[in-house]
Amino acid sequence: MRELRHAAGLTMEQLAEASGVSARAISDMERGHSRAPQTRTLAALARGLGLEPEQLGELEGEARQQRSQAGGRPRLCELPRAISDFVGRADELDRMRRHALAGLGPAPVAVVHGQPGLGKTALAVRLADQLRDRYPGGLLYLDMRGTDAEPVATGDALLRLLRALEVGSRRIAETDDERSSQLRAVLRDRRCLLVLDNAGSEAQVRPLLPSEGESLAVVTSRRVLGGLEGVERIALTPLAPHESAALLRAIAVQAADPRAAAEVEAVARYCGHLPLALRIAGTRLATRPAWTVEHLVTRLADADRRLANLSTGDIGVATAFALSHAQLGKPARELFRRLAHVPGVDFAATLASVLTGAHLDDAPDGLDELVDLGLLQPSGPDRYRFHDLIRLFAGERLRNEEPPGTRAATAKRMSDWLLTTAIVAGRWFEPGYGSLPDGWTGLVAPAGEEEADAWLQAERANWLGALRSASRGGQYQLVVDVAEAMHWYSDKYVRSGYWYEVYGLSRAAAAQLPDRRQEVTHVNYFSWAATHCRGRPDEGAEIALDAHRVAVELGDVKEQAWALRYAGDAWRHAGDDERGLAACREALRLFDVAGDHDGYVQAQLGVARGISNLGRYHEAITECFAVLEQIELRPVAARPALSARVCAHTIATEALAESGRWAEALGEAELALPFAAEYGYAGYLGELHLTIGRARMALGRRDEARPSLRIAVELLIEKRYRGRSELAQRSLAELG
């Protein structure tokens, strides 16, 4: 090497600059301290020296002879075998390449983190393989065993890396601090790529990171390693559905059959798009030629056996999760398994506190520990969620580690808390309530309708799951109480299909209780849900008539009136406006007899809507103004009054528009907008913006019409609004 360098007329520093190999490494080779340089290092030196291929061959021969004389000394810290069917992660690879090439400040460090099974190691190895030519000083890999009971000690890691970098044993420093400085010096002078895989903590890897120079360190960990500063963090997530399907097709020939596309998508869903699970599923197919993809779908469909089926050879999804689970402290383990009780997709820290009995202030600590180990994912501010497979693993731990009695008691405590809180939140919208109960000390204390609504929507899947559980458990009065508390709140989300389930459960629960008046009330609610929430007016009318029959038997005039009101709505939605109008007129009379003022204005709105649908717009407008007058004259409760006011204005604006009274329609719609915004129902807002847009067009204010019509298109997106949405789109098209 010395002879070749002298022949080329180069100093060590000049050869280092030309080749990318550090002057220190060249000096070690020339002095015999590095007796078996790697092939890629020799190739870089040959380029720097301008050698012919024959001369490079001689150098490689000398290196092979030295290795043979040294007894075939194995290479240290070699990269693992790369995956030939690597799929996806293009954005993550691009980010790390750009970080490596930035060339500013300290040596670049990337931290790839995420839950078990996301393919962090595969990604790091893929990057190293792609950047092989940029790092002639070597590609080094070290498994830090951060999930083991005894991770690799920092001192041992330093020793292995220094030896892999061909620092002679007699030259390696004695203390960890000195070795760390020595490693940084070597990495500063060489251009190396260092993969520190499966790191357990910041303290374990910090002494191994380069400080200056062009070397790159890629750290993978299940933890975020938030204590490392100045690093590029790459948070991995599950693969996209099309990437999952591509990975399965790359592994198993059965999955590559286009006719199996639907079954491949099902396998990907059952695997939660987790690369480890997908690779195991694909391998099970590939090693069982007689299996079809449908056969695998059937096996994975069994949730109780899914984790068992996602294992092959010495690898398994549950095994990967167990390594993280083993690092949890006792309180965090209890929290982890009890979170399997949560019925919804995500949850807040308050629910974690309920499950463990811990103080609310302490709950985030346990949740952060689970997040840090990749067993839980953040899901927005103060919300968390499981990956589907980790949820199954938590369920297994729950069944294995807690007796049935404890599990049942915990589940009931969670369910009762969810439903009690749902009642308190729902009653903010109910006549006669509208505030927290005296002395309320619950973990959630909504201070008004806005906070109550936010909680009910955020925890909807959870309180719905608790409602199902209470129904199965025979807590019939609790089910009825929850549904009753949602009566006026449900109007805000009238098109949401889940009310059909809520009031189906409450009707069934009420039928098990002795109070038949309560039962007929919830039959009526169920009729409303069938018509308005599920779009089944024929079913809604049939249910309402059944409620009317029972109400007549009981002599309950109020519920007779509500039954006719709901039947009228159902017939109108089914296209029988005359029958619907007649039912609403009779309901109006009965509400007046019963003294139900809230119901009275609702029935009067039904009359107005029915008249308008029959094309009698002048009468409809008069009826709407009569509703607004009755709201002021009668003691109508706040929420029903707001609902009636918005609906009356909306019907009136539509009737005015259909009559061609555009200036009046515009004024009425603009007057109604603040009420509709306060009420919060998208349908009313969409209708009003549509009328405003059309009125402005008709009045020659075309530039002002466009924003309102666009809002109308956005708000009227549901299928049931298709006619109104198409009208808004046609109007926009006319504007050009």
For the chain, give the percent of residues with pLDDT over 70. 96
CA distances (Å), origin 526, targets 234, 541, 720? 49, 10, 19
Residues 143 and 63 in one domain: no
Token pair listed for 271 = 């695997």
Closest CA to 236 of 108, 88, 357: 88
pLDDT tops 80 at residue 371: yes
Q: Which residue has the higher pLDDT, 481 or 304?
A: 481
**DSSP-assigned letter for residue 260:** G
pLDDT tops 70 at residue 107: yes
Return the bridge partners of 216, or none: 193
Specify the amino acid at residue 179: R
**DSSP-assigned letter for residue 83:** P
Is position 616 within any domain?
yes
Last residue of a domain, one of 69, 98, 118: 69
pLDDT tops 70 at residue 633: yes
**DSSP-assigned letter for residue 142:** E
3-state SS record for 521-550:
HHHHHHHHHHHHHCCCHHHHHHHHHHHHHH
Residues 183 and 108 in one domain: yes
For the chain, give the percent of residues with pLDDT over 90. 66
- Please write the tens of the pLDDT for every residue from 540-574: 999 999 999 999 999 999 999 999 999 999 999 99
The pLDDT, as a whole number, for residue 278 is 94
- Please write the tens of the pLDDT for every residue from 310-366: 988 778 899 999 989 998 999 999 999 999 999 999 999 999 999 998 887 777 888
Residues 165 and 258 in one domain: no
Residues 277 and 309 in one domain: yes
CB 467, CB 479: distance < 8 Å = yes
The pLDDT, as a whole number, for residue 70 is 45
Residues 642 and 733 in one domain: yes
At 664, which helix (H) or strand (E)?
helix 662-679
The pLDDT, as a whole number, for residue 25 is 73
CATH number for position 34: 1.10.260.40
Residues 605 and 650 in one domain: yes
Point out the least confidently predicted range of 22-31, 515-524, 721-730. Answer: 22-31
Residues 603 and 731 in one domain: yes
Q: Which residue has the higher pLDDT, 59 or 111?
A: 111
CB 506, CB 525: distance < 8 Å = yes
Residues 231 and 261 in one domain: no
pLDDT tops 50 at residue 73: no
The pLDDT, as a whole number, for residue 639 is 86
- Please write the tens of the pLDDT for every residue from 18-55: 888 777 677 767 766 555 666 777 788 888 888 888 87
pLDDT tops 80 at residue 226: yes
The pLDDT, as a whole number, for residue 24 is 67
At 87, which helix (H) or strand (E)?
none
Residues 231 and 259 in one domain: no
CA distances (Å), origin 684, targets 284, 405, 456, 532? 54, 49, 21, 14
Task: Please report where in the chains the tokens 């008069």 appear, as a residue.
Answer: 622
Closest CA to 181 of 198, 196, 166, 161: 161
- Please write the tens of the pLDDT for every residue from 383-426: 999 999 999 999 999 999 999 999 999 999 999 999 999 999 99
pLDDT tops 70 at residue 64: no
Residues 282 and 336 in one domain: no
As a whole number of angstroms, the distance between CA 93 and CA 102 comes to 14
Residues 216 and 250 in one domain: no
The pLDDT, as a whole number, for residue 612 is 94
- Please write the tens of the pLDDT for every residue from 685-721: 999 999 999 999 999 999 899 999 999 999 888 777 7
The pLDDT, as a whole number, for residue 71 is 42
- Please write the tens of the pLDDT for every residue from 149-181: 889 999 999 999 998 888 877 888 889 999 999
Is position 351 within any domain?
yes
The pLDDT, as a whole number, for residue 207 is 94
pLDDT tops 90 at residue 681: no
Q: What number is the average pLDDT over the span 78-100? A: 89
Specify the amino acid at residue 449: E
**DSSP-assigned letter for residue 661:** -
As a whole number of angstroms, the distance between CA 139 and CA 44 comes to 14
Range of the domain at 706: 597-736
Task: Please report where in the chains the tokens 């990318």 appear, as a residue.
Answer: 20
CB 681, CB 494: distance < 8 Å = yes
| The total number of structural domains that make up the chain | 5
Return the bridge partners of 312, or none: 315
Three-state secondary-structure class, residue 468:
helix
Cβ count within 10 A of residue 362? 14
CB 99, CB 217: distance < 8 Å = no
Closest CA to 544 of 519, 526, 556: 526
Three-state secondary-structure class, residue 78:
coil
Last residue of a domain, one of 370, 402, 434: 402
Confidence category of residue 736, pLDDT binned at 50, 70, 90: confident
b vs e for 310-337, b when ≥16 Cβ sit within 10 Å of the residue's Cβ?
Answer: bbeeeebbbebbebbbebbeeebbbbbb
CATH number for position 720: 1.25.40.10
At 53, which helix (H) or strand (E)?
helix 53-69
- Please write the tens of the pLDDT for every residue from 186-223: 888 888 999 999 999 999 999 999 998 889 999 999 99
The pLDDT, as a whole number, for residue 72 is 41
**DSSP-assigned letter for residue 721:** G
Confidence category of residue 650, pLDDT binned at 50, 70, 90: very high
Residues 293 and 340 in one domain: no
As a whole number of angstroms, the distance between CA 605 and CA 628 comes to 10
Q: How many helices (H) and strands (E) does the chain have?
A: 36, 10
Share the mean pLDDT of the chain: 90
Is position 133 within any domain?
yes
Is position 645 within any domain?
yes
